Amino acid sequence: LFADTGCITLSQYILLDPILMFFLMGAVLSMVKCNSCADRPFSASWWFWLSLTGVNLAGAMGVKFVGLFVVLLVGLNTIYDLWDLLGNLSLSLVVFGKHLLARVLCLILLPLALYTAMFAVHFTVLNKSGPGDGFFSSAFQSQLIGNNLYNVSVPEHLAYGSVVTMKNLRMAGGYLHSHWHLYPEGIGARQQQVTAYLHKDLNNLWIIKKHDSDTADLSDPSSPVEFVRHRDIIRLEHKETSRNLHSHQHEAPLTRKHFQVTGYGINGTGDSNDFWRIEVVGRKAGKLIKVLRSQVRLTHVATGCILGSSGKTLPKWGWEQVEVTCTPYLKETPNSLWNFEDHINPKLPNISLDVLKPSFAEILLESHMVMIRGNSGLKPKDNEVTSKPWHWPINYQGLRFSGVNETDYRVYLLGNPVIWWLNLVSIGLYLLMAVSTAVTLKRGVQLTSELKGEACKSFPLLKSVCVPELSRVVLRGGGQITLGWLLHYLPFFMMGRVLYFHHYFPAMLFSSMLTGVTWDTLLKFCAAFLSPSITAGKVYGGGFLALVLLIMYSFYLFHPLSYGMIGPMASDPSSPMAGLRWMDSWEF
């Protein structure tokens, strides 16, 4: 890997991938070393490597969710070991129980404890407000220094004339939002867009009004306060545009069989499709509605549908905000529940929000749900180069890290072609070798004693073809590596999020290790079966040297991709890199 231009490029930037790869390789190394101590269970070295495996698993998970794939790899290896131990009749069930408890302690409890401790430090250090506050619940935000909910006091109960923001209870559901832009032609009625927006914004503010009268008089300090109650029929007027929250039987932009939600009317004057019944979950009619604590549902009076956030991201015409619909399905889900967060009404007394402080477990769970949703909802930026999983093993297309023209200092993420294509060929060779080895061992075929003796005398490293350890090297060792490659590669075919070339690098580590196992075994076989006049050591050493020289020469050719290029692009015949553009899809 020291000669792979892709790994070098990644390690030169402040990215998560090199850190992930460090912990991933640490976990695999520790797992293998622990397996090598299987004949000395519960020894100091056995405990050390088992514990270090757990530490590396915690590190891999703490960097990226992709770290879960190596957790699965270690888990499957552990299950295999325990199953093998269970079949060993020389072990008592008490000893087997000790093995089981040791693995639970080091591979489950220890990683979870370390992972949780990381987030405890994270929440302690990163305790200030930022532009992403809107992704989190009101209770979470109330713990962030600088947030408008931190140590704040607001009126406890809603009243007519109050200016409020409404937050969807779905994780990262966003605030009810509107703006001057209209729905485009062909998308329902051409009225003002209503969306859910994940950030704080003045366009999140709404005024609560009675459905059958104006509330302008309620702004008069001398007018009496009239509270909003459970099952009241209200209007919500958008403060910035003075249009009412509105729905009708036009279909929603993205979600079929849901109704469109719009902003309608002029200066708060609209029609009967602006009326909504406000209902509090678990409350009786006439009860007051509390800020932050009451979970409310808005039912459209005319159609009977319920206001909700679908969680789907609108196209560019909707500013990639979240779709808001009115669903005719009355099933109660977080998508259709809201809470009132900001509450401005100078005529009402304020209360402190300290009573809403969430527990550490609630914060931990919420932060992970927000990360998962944010990760799955990533969209490519304009002119951004994305890729597909089938591109990656063949090194089909790289990724421009810096520079766009011949006057810029350009760095291009692309794997060393010789290494990557050798990895691809080696996967096929390994599968052929593994099948052949399995069939050979199943049929009981053995090497002749003359061949084994000559090979071992010529080159001691050939013990893998001299003893039954061949199956352990090719089938067990190579099989674990192949499983690691599959676990780190195949899941990307099922992911709906945007994907990039660098997502393959954890899998590339396993394919490179598989290449080492494959060619090591292949060279040993070739050396063992050649004429005795050619010493096995020379054959093995010569083959190994040829591979190293080939890889180093390819690194010499392609190293400018990692360390920087200047001058004409490779598509220009006068470019010094023109002869290295072996595929038309390479854009360096």
Mean pLDDT for the chain overall: 85
Q: What contacts 55, CB < 8 A, 6 or more positions away?
A: 30, 110, 111, 114
pLDDT at 357 over 80: no
Output the pLDDT for position 33. Answer: 93
Q: Are 317 and 294 in contact (CB under 8 A)?
A: no
Q: Are 492 and 503 in contact (CB under 8 A)?
A: yes
Output the pLDDT for position 406. Answer: 67
Output the pLDDT for position 132. Answer: 79
pLDDT at 453 over 80: no
Q: Quickly count: other Cβ atoms within 10 Å of residue 198's Cβ.
A: 21
Average pLDDT over residues 81-101: 90
How far is residue 512's CA from residue 427's CA, in Å, rounded to a whole number? 10
- At 269, the pLDDT band (50, 70, 90 cuts) reads confident
CB < 8 Å & 24+ apart, contacts of 219-222: 219/161, 221/346, 221/347
pLDDT at 146 over 80: yes
Output the pLDDT for position 463. Answer: 45
Average pLDDT over residues 481-496: 90
Q: What angle do CA 276, 277, 279 make, to 5 degrees?
A: 135
Average pLDDT over residues 45-71: 93
pLDDT at 461 over 50: no
- At 407, the pLDDT band (50, 70, 90 cuts) reads low
How far is residue 109's CA from residue 115's CA, in Å, rounded to a whole number? 10
Output the pLDDT for position 354. Answer: 72
Query: What pTM did the predictor assign?
Result: 0.74
Q: Are 250 and 259 in contact (CB under 8 A)?
A: yes
Q: Quickly count: other Cβ atoms within 10 Å of residue 266's Cβ.
A: 10
Output the pLDDT for position 458. Answer: 44
Output the pLDDT for position 467. Answer: 43
- At 292, the pLDDT band (50, 70, 90 cuts) reads confident
What pLDDT, in 10s, does the model give residues 107-116?
999 999 999 9
